[in-house]
Amino acid sequence: MSFSITLPDGSKKDFTDAVSISDLAHGIGTSLGKAALGAKVNGQIVALDYKLSKNAEVAIITDRDEEGLAILRDTVAFVLEAVAKKVYPEIHFGEHGTDDEGFYVDTDKENQIKINELPDLEKAVKKVIKAGEKIASCMMSKDELADIFNDDPYKSEMLKAEKGDQVQVYKLGDFIDFGFDALLPNTGKIKQFKLLSVAGAYWKGQSSNPMLQRISGTAFFKKADLDADIKRREEIKERDHRTIGRDLDLFFVDPKVGAGLPYWMPKGATIRRVVERYIIDKEVADGYQHVYTPVLMNVDAYKTSGHWAHYRDDMFPPMDMGDGEMLELRPMNCPSHIQIYKHHIRSYRELPIRIAELGMMHRYEKSGALSGLQRVREMTLNDGHTFVTLDQVQSEFSKILTLILDVYKDFDITDYYFRLSYRDPKNTKKYFANDEMWERSQSMLKKAMDDMGLDYVEAEGEAAFYGPKLDIQTKTALGADETMSTIQLDFMLPERFNLTYVGQDGEEHRPVMIHRGIVGTMERFIAYLIEIYKGAFPTWLAPVQVEVIPVNLDAHSDYAKKVRDELNKRGFRAEADLRNEKLGYKIRESQTQKVPYTLVLGDKELKDKGVNVRRYGTEEEVAKSFDEFISEIKQDVKSYSREE
RNA sequence: GCCACUUUAGCUCAGGAGGUAGAGCACCGCCGUGGUAAGGAGGAGGUCCUCAGUUCAAAUCUGGGAAGUGGCUCCA
């Protein structure tokens, strides 16, 4: 027997006998041998004791590789299981796994694990780590394992899902488990770990299944990395829009007056107003006609649209008006805009017709889903519907996408990706039944993206029930994926509402409807802006753009008021801090409130008719004439958030 | 909606072996008149989330409910 191993640098090593990953690594170099944690063999992750016996491409994994971290985290998860089994003999385990954040183990036992039991579990794991116990691996037959796990419903089910007849298992003392790619050979190799939380998670991720307890934690090779990660988690909290929203007095949600119903304080309202005016101007310039339509609508419209059948549980219950009329708080604006379209007979000459509105709508989101401004029960959507002929779909699509990307530049939004959201072919029940329509519209979307040369991911099961869509996905401070913008093709509603236009041939034709949102809902968008700017809004959006501070109240208040008034007269948002406090106190507050410009006015400025400017985030003081300052801030506002 | 945790002053939080509570910041007036991140001493402020139960007595113990947080599920 002879075979050769190809290493990442292209070099080859020949062997006549089977060789373990560990020996291979030692053979390459002593330090690599020590650092080796596992290997990738033809792309598959294996443990150190894996025996190579045929030609293969092998890359040794060390703590510098992402896969190394996954091996470490899997090992901690495994040791945690072994320890938990000792502490709670009746415990069962569900799924376990690792991700960017760390690792998790799903558990099930009579009495749920409480958060205050975590420190004891952590201590017990540390003890095992210190003892440096051996983690053994071997192959076992499914039958043998089925006997071992016969009283464990979760493991039995997972075992069935394993491929092949032989399953790789790991052992620590009496404890045995499977489903790991590779583990470290000894508990002593675990360096830094921390248990973070216990939370609920449905077995196999389905809400109809029992709920298990998920213990989450994280692990690193170096203490500095763990410390940095803990610090990162704290910083994320500081960037959370709810924290900043409170500190800067932007908005609040008071459960006593209504969960999920936000109140916009003057400063938050200012930001929102600037965004609303901006987006309306932008859309009007792009050919949209802005309208106002009522938040109440006869429930029949939602029965026609199909929303009632699909989403009734997430809608507010209809109001019975007593005379047979049932009014519904609208959960979306499409049927309203359809009414606008239907109000006249439409000619092909008019198309595309673009209707837009900042439409307020209500959705009865489940209480557990509500979160600050990110998930609410009343929201205002930057909504728009364009009605086009079949021939116009692609050009309209790219026109909308161009607008979106232009808007992103103005807000300096750079961290996003495109997702083509298709229906789930296995679950067609949820979707409008018309295979040909789905095939056609999905390929139209794909072609439009390809023609524009844009990268995207394709996701089945993410479509709207009436059609496929392009979603533009961003991330919140806490790392959750969320849809910022969307373009949706809809062949269904025009059918349901019998929308028509008169063509050149004098006959009636069916238009295609495109639903689109540029910045999504005001609530979610402003939550997003708070997080990307960390509360330090660029000047054009800042609720207070200029804070004017007199050095001495008696001597300089009049001048401060005059400067403030002059700024306000020119359309800037300026405030004068005339409270009876020390200068340092006011400067501090101006900084913690993240005001872009702080002007200090004293004897010098009064004499020169000038201002002393401190830009947020700097410690420089710059003396300027009033006119110089005006042209600086004017330029600043005009540039939006663009980095130029 | 499900699992865990939490809910005390406007905010952030202490405390409470059952006898109706405290700090810092914020707020109000007083003294201080200051040049770039907190001047000083004081005052006011509470349905201890809510509804029941146990008790002479409940903010504290028990149970139901609501909301918040972290997850899970969902998100037109």
| Same-domain pairing of A73 and A48 | no
CATH number at residue A40: 3.10.20.30
The pLDDT, as a whole number, for residue A234 is 76
Measured N-to-C along each axis, helices A266-285 and A393-411 cross at an angle, to the nearest 10 degrees, of 140
Q: What is the mean pLDDT of chain A?
A: 90
A96 has a pLDDT exceeding 80: yes
Residue ending a domain, among A484, A505, A533, is A533
Return d(Cα A395, Cα A391) in angstroms, integer. Answer: 8
Percentage with pLDDT > 70 across chain A:
100
pLDDT at A11 over 90: no
Domain of residue A344, CATH code: 3.30.930.10
- What's the Å distance between residue A256 CA and nucleotide B52 C1'? 21
Strand partners, A252: A263
pLDDT (0 to 100) of residue A527: 93
Q: Please tell me which residue lies nearest to nucleotide B33, judged from CA to C1'.
A: A552
Confidence at residue A406, expressed as pLDDT on a 0 to 100 scale: 95
**A568: helix, coil or strand?**
helix
Strand B close to A475 by CB, under 7 A: no
Determine contact, residues A288/A352, Cβ cutoff 8 Å: no
A383 and A297: one domain?
Answer: yes
- Asked if A24 contacts A60 with a C-beta cutoff of 8 angstroms, the reply is yes
The number of residues in chain A equals 644
Please identify, among A62, A92, A112, the residue that sits at the C-terminal boundary of a domain.
A62
Task: Assess whether A200 (CB) lies less than 7 A from strand B.
Answer: yes
Q: Identify the three-state secondary structure at position A85.
A: helix
Q: Is the pLDDT of residue A208 over 90?
A: no
| CB-to-strand B under 7 Å, chain A 549-608 | 551-554, 580-585, 587-588, 591-592, 598, 600-605
Q: Identify which of A11-20, A140-149, A459-468, A622-631 has the greatest average pLDDT.
A: A622-631
Task: Give which of A235, A230, A237, A264 is closest to A248, Cα–Cα.
Answer: A264
The A 353-372 residues near strand B by Cβ under 7 Å are 363, 365-372
Q: Which of A509, A402, A401, A421 lies closest to A466, judged by CA?
A: A421
Whether the per-residue pLDDT at A110 is higher than 80: the answer is no
* Structural domain includes residue A108: yes
- pLDDT-derived band at A644, boundaries 50, 70, 90: low
Give the integer Cα–Cα distance in Å for A151 and A129.
29
Q: 10 Å Cβ neighbour count for A396?
A: 23
Q: Rounded to an integer, what distance in angstroms lies between the CA atom of residue A5 and that of residue A640?
A: 57
| Contact criterion met (CB below 8 Å) for A244 and A271 | no
pLDDT at A258: 82
Res A231: pLDDT: 78
Q: What single-letter amino acid sits at A170?
A: Y
Residue nearest to nucleotide B72 (CA to C1'): A201
Asked, for residue A283, whether it belongs to a domain, the answer is: yes
Looking at the fold, whether A27 and A126 belong to one and the same domain comes out as no
DSSP secondary-structure letter at A252? E
Q: Which two tokens stand for residue A523?
A: 């609530």
- Smallest CA–C1' separation from A465, nucleotide: B76
CA at A11, C1' at B71: how many angstroms apart? 47
Backbone angles phi, psi at A277, to 5 degrees: -65, -40
A75 and A222 both lie in a single domain: yes
Task: Note whether residue A239 is domain-resident.
Answer: no
Distance A584 CA to B23 C1' (A): 25
Average confidence (pLDDT) over A262-277: 94
The reported pLDDT for the residue numbered A588 is: 93
Residues A217, A104: one domain? yes
Covered bases, chain B (protein CB within 7 Å) = 1-5, 11-12, 31-39, 66-76
Q: What share of chain A is helix, strand, coil (3-state, %, to 5)?
A: 40, 30, 30
Query: Which residue, among A353, A76, A333, A326, has the nearest Cα to A193 in the 3D structure?
Result: A76
Cα angle vertex A287, ends A284, A292, to 5°? Answer: 55
Q: Can you say whether residue A508 is alpha, beta or left, with left for phi > 0 and alpha for psi between -120 and 50 degrees?
A: beta
Q: What angle do CA A624, A628, A632 make, to 5 degrees?
A: 110
Are residues A71 and A48 located together in one domain of the fold? no
Can you give the residue range of the structural domain that contains A489?
Answer: 251-533
Instruction: Say if A593 falls within a structural domain.
Output: yes
Distances (CA, A) of A447 to A88, A334, A393, A518: 56, 25, 11, 21
Separation of alpha carbons A8 and A60, rounded Å: 9
Of residues A315 and A367, which shows the higher confidence score?
Answer: A315
Which nucleotide is the nearest neighbour of A555, by CA and C1'?
B33
Of the given ranges (A107-121, A428-442, A614-628), which has the lowest mean pLDDT? A107-121
Same domain, A334 and A411: yes
Instruction: Collect contacts of A4-10 with beta carbons under 8 A, ≥24 apart.
Output: A4/A55, A5/A52, A5/A55, A5/A56, A5/A57, A5/A58, A6/A55, A6/A56, A6/A57, A6/A58, A7/A57, A7/A58, A7/A59, A8/A57, A8/A59
A360 and A335 in a single domain? The answer is yes
- A62 contacts: CB under 8 Å, gap ≥ 6: A32, A35, A36, A37, A68
Same domain, A53 and A150: no
Residue A199 forms part of a structural domain: yes
What CATH number did the domain enclosing A109 receive? Answer: 3.30.980.10
Among the candidates A480, A510, A533, a domain finishes at A533
A412/A331 same-domain check: yes
Mean pLDDT is lowest, of A98-102, A262-266, A418-422, for A98-102
Report yes or no on A244 lying in a domain.
Answer: no
Strand B close residues, chain A 325-344, CB < 7 angstroms: 331-332, 334
pLDDT tens digit string along A212-243? 888 888 889 888 888 888 777 777 777 889 98
Average pLDDT of the segment spanning A46-67: 88
- Is any atom of nucleic acid chain B found less than 7 Å from the CB of residue A516? no
Residue A63: per-residue pLDDT? 86
Mean pLDDT for the stretch of residues A520-536: 93
Which residues 21-40 of chain A have a CB under 7 Å from nucleic chain B? none
Split into its structural domains, chain A has a count of: 4
Contacts of A592 (CB under 8 A, 6+ apart): A247
How many Cβ atoms from other residues are within 10 Å of residue A293's Cβ?
18
Contact A301, A331 (CB under 8 A): no
- Residue A343 burial (C-beta neighbours within 10 Å; 0-12, 13-18, 19+): exposed
Is there a domain that residue A237 lies in? no
Q: Report the range of poorest mean pLDDT among A284-288, A356-360, A532-536.
A: A532-536
What's the CA A572/C1' B44 distance, rounded, in angstroms? Answer: 37
Find which nucleotide's C1' atom is closest to A260's CA.
Answer: B67
- What is the enclosing helix (H) or strand (E) of A448? helix A435-452
- The C-alpha atoms of residue A96 and residue A154 are separated, in whole angstroms, by 11
Q: What is the pLDDT of residue A370?
A: 86
ipTM > 0.85 for the complex: yes
Same domain, A58 and A119: no
Contacts of A307 (CB under 8 A, 6+ apart): A315, A331, A332, A335
What's the confidence (pLDDT) of residue A99?
Answer: 81
Nearest to A67 by CA among A31, A23, A100, A28: A100
| Spatial separation of the C-alpha atoms in residues A435 and A442, rounded to whole Å | 11
A283 and A406 in a single domain? The answer is yes
- The set of residues, in sequence order, having a beta carbon less than 8 Å from that of A133 and lying 6+ positions away, is A172, A173, A186, A187, A188
Do the domain assignments include residue A236?
Answer: no
